[in-house]
Amino acid sequence: MASCELVKIPKLKTINDVSLFGIGNIEIKGGGSASVQYATCVLDAFQSATYKDVAIEGITENSTPVLDIIVDDQDNINRIYKSWSCIYKATTHDGYIRFYSSSATEIPLNVQILVFNNEEQ
Residue-wise pLDDT for 24-42, tens only, equals 455 555 556 667 788 888 8
Domain ranges for the chain: 2-119
Residue 56: pLDDT band with limits 50, 70, 90: confident
Mean pLDDT along residues 13-34 = 51
Q: Each residue of 79-89: pLDDT tens digit?
A: 999 999 999 99
Residues 95 and 53: their CA atoms lie apart, in Å, by: 10
> What pLDDT does 13 receive?
47
pTM over 0.95, yes/no? no
Position 77 scores a pLDDT of 92
